[in-house]
Amino acid sequence: MIAPIKNDEQYEQSLKRIYSLMQMYMAPDSAESDELEILSILAKDYETVHFPVSKPNPLDAIKFRLDQMDMTENDLSEILGYRSRKSEILSGKRKLSLAMIRKLNEKLQIPAEVLIQPY
């Protein structure tokens, strides 16, 4: 019987069972696939409460996303509109404006809730 995960031992057991289920070939909508889905949800919920992941620093997120997209800081200048703004922002001398946050969200797909954090 599947039950809520209440401690680290149960969490570890659930991860082992999830791993073993993932190694199996299973038909969609089978009992095993349902078990895998339910255990995954329970494990994720446990992780969210017991192992929270903080949001990245906005400047680190911008640099990381530029790297991911194989873009340069010059590309960031084009997004923000001015070369000097790019330098001021990446050095922390200037804060992101609402218009900049919108552009970065649209062009780099960085979540707004990451970009609005204090830094």
Note the pLDDT tens digit of each residue in 15-64: 999 999 999 999 999 999 999 999 999 999 999 999 999 999 999 999 99
| Same-domain pairing of 66 and 111 | yes
Note the pLDDT tens digit of each residue in 92-102: 899 999 999 99
| Total domain count, the chain | 2
Is residue 80 very low, low, confident or very high in pLDDT (cuts 50, 70, 90)?
confident
Instruction: Answer for the pair 79, 103: CB distance below 8 angstroms, yes or no.
Output: yes
| Same-domain pairing of 108 and 72 | yes
For residue 86, the model assigns a pLDDT of 86
Q: What is the CATH number of the domain that holds 104?
A: 1.10.260.40
Where in the sequence is the domain holding 93, given as residue range(s)? 58-115
Residues 59, 96: Cα–Cα separation, whole Å: 10
For residue 99, the model assigns a pLDDT of 92
| Same-domain pairing of 12 and 44 | yes
pLDDT at 82 over 80: no
| Same-domain pairing of 79 and 31 | no
1 occurs within a structural domain: no
| Same-domain pairing of 44 and 63 | no
Residues 113, 1: Cα–Cα separation, whole Å: 39
108 occurs within a structural domain: yes
Q: Which amino acid is at 8?
A: D
